[in-house]
């Protein structure tokens, strides 16, 4: 964290005299996008309920603990394979508030049909 702050400070110190606008500098200093880790294993996602804010982008880091799983959330327009040993990262930005269900769409055995979770998207500011 100190390294990032030092790098940003040095960048601003060098760039401001050359016309970098305060608005652009503020954007550079903004918080990075939140990353939410979701693990998949027979027959569950963890966490199974995730709260998001409408209009705020997040990164989903999908990790399988046991076998190939799918991740499908039609309301977010997202579909991915979750391969064991290989994290899958997806950027999403919910456009509407509500409960958005995600499911495994690769058959993973008896109990597969119960493998789902939900994003609870709260309205924007």
Model confidence pLDDT, tens digit, residues 24-37: 444 445 668 999 99
Query: Tell me, what's the pLDDT at 57?
Result: 97
Q: Can you say whether the dihedral through the CA atoms of 39, 41, 46, 51 is positive or negative?
A: positive
Q: Cα(76)–Cα(39) distance, rounded to whole angstroms? A: 19
15 vs 79, more confident: 79
- The pTM for the full model equals 0.74
Predicted confidence (pLDDT) at residue 116 exceeds the cutoff of 90: yes
Quick one: average pLDDT of 99-122? 95
Quick one: average pLDDT of 104-112? 91
36-69 tens-digit pLDDT: 999 999 999 999 999 999 999 999 999 999 999 9
The encoded tokens of residue 85 equal 């040993």
How many CA atoms lie less than 13 Å away from 31 in the CB half-sphere? 6
Q: List, in order, residues 6 or more apart from 27 with CB less than 8 Å away.
A: none
Predicted confidence (pLDDT) at residue 87 exceeds the cutoff of 50: yes
Model confidence at 22, pLDDT cuts 50, 70, 90, reads: very low
Q: What is the mean pLDDT of the chain?
A: 84
Percentage above 90 pLDDT, the chain: 69
The encoded tokens of residue 86 equal 């290989």
Q: Cα(39)–Cα(87) distance, rounded to whole angstroms? A: 10
């Amino acid at each position: 964290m100190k390294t990032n702050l030092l790098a940003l400070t040095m960048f601003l110190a060098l760039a401001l005299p050359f016309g970098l606008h305060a608005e652009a500098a503020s954007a550079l200093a903004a918080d990075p996008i939140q990353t939410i880790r979701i693990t998949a294993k027979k027959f569950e996602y963890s966490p199974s309920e995730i709260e998001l804010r409408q209009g705020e982008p997040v990164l989903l880091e999908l990790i399988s603990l046991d076998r190939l799983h799918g991740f499908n959330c039609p309301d977010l327009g997202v579909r991915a394979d979750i391969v064991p040993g290989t994290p899958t990262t997806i950027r999403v930005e919910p456009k509407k508030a509500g409960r958005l269900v995600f499911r495994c769409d690769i058959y993973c055995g008896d109990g597969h049909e119960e493998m789902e979770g939900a994003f609870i998207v709260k309205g924007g500011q």
